[in-house]
C-alpha cells in the first residue's frame, strides 16, 4: 500500500509538471504581456496571457484521458523548460496563469483519475 501511495504521489507530481510543460512555451508569450501591461490587471488586460491560458484549457477539454496519460511522460522541449523556469521566477504571472487554468485542468484530471 505504501508503494501505491508513493506511486500516486509521483503521478500527481507528474501531472502538475505536465501542466506546466504544456503551458511552458505559451508562458514565454505571457512575459511579453507583462512587459507590455505592467502590474496586475483584470482578465482581458493581458491578451497574450489570456490566449496562453485558453490554449491550455482547450487542450484539457479536448483531450481524452488516455491522451493525457500518454502525454504526461513526454519529454519537455527546451522552450518549455525555459517557460517553466520563467513561471518559477515570476510569481505574479504564475499566479495569474494558475488562477485562470486551475479549475478546468483540475476537473479534467479528477475525471481521468489522475488526482484523488
* Those residues with Cβ within 8 angstroms of residue 96's Cβ, 6 or more apart along the chain or in another chain: 30, 40, 46, 49
Rounded Cα–Cα distance for residues 51 and 11 (Å): 28
Burial (0-12, 13-18, 19+ Cβ within 10 Å), 30: buried
The pTM of the whole model exceeds 0.95: no
- Residue spans of beta strands (DSSP E) within 40-86: none
Q: For each of the chain's 116 residues, which pLDDT tens digit applies? A: 555 566 666 666 666 656 555 655 455 445 554 554 454 456 677 787 788 788 889 999 999 999 999 888 888 888 778 777 877 888 998 999 899 999 999 999 999 999 88
Q: What is the C-alpha separation between 89 and 63, in angstroms, rounded?
A: 29
Count CB atoms within 10 A of the CB of residue 109: 21
Structure confidence at residue 79 (pLDDT): 73
Domain range summary for the chain, segments of one domain joined by +: 21-111
Q: Give the per-residue pLDDT at 80.
A: 73
Amino acid at each position: 500500500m505504501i508503494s501505491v501511495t508513493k506511486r500516486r504521489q509521483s503521478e500527481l507530481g507528474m501531472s502538475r509538471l505536465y501542466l506546466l510543460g504544456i503551458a511552458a512555451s505559451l508562458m514565454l508569450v505571457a512575459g511579453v504581456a507583462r512587459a507590455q501591461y505592467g502590474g496586475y490587471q483584470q482578465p482581458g488586460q493581458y491578451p497574450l496571457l489570456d490566449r496562453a491560458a485558453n490554449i491550455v484549457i482547450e487542450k484539457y477539454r479536448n483531450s481524452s484521458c488516455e491522451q493525457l496519460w500518454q502525454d504526461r511522460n513526454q519529454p519537455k522541449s527546451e522552450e518549455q523548460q525555459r517557460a517553466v523556469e520563467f513561471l518559477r521566477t515570476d510569481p505574479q504571472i504564475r499566479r495569474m496563469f494558475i488562477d485562470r487554468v486551475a479549475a478546468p485542468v483540475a476537473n479534467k484530471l479528477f475525471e481521468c483519475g489522475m488526482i484523488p
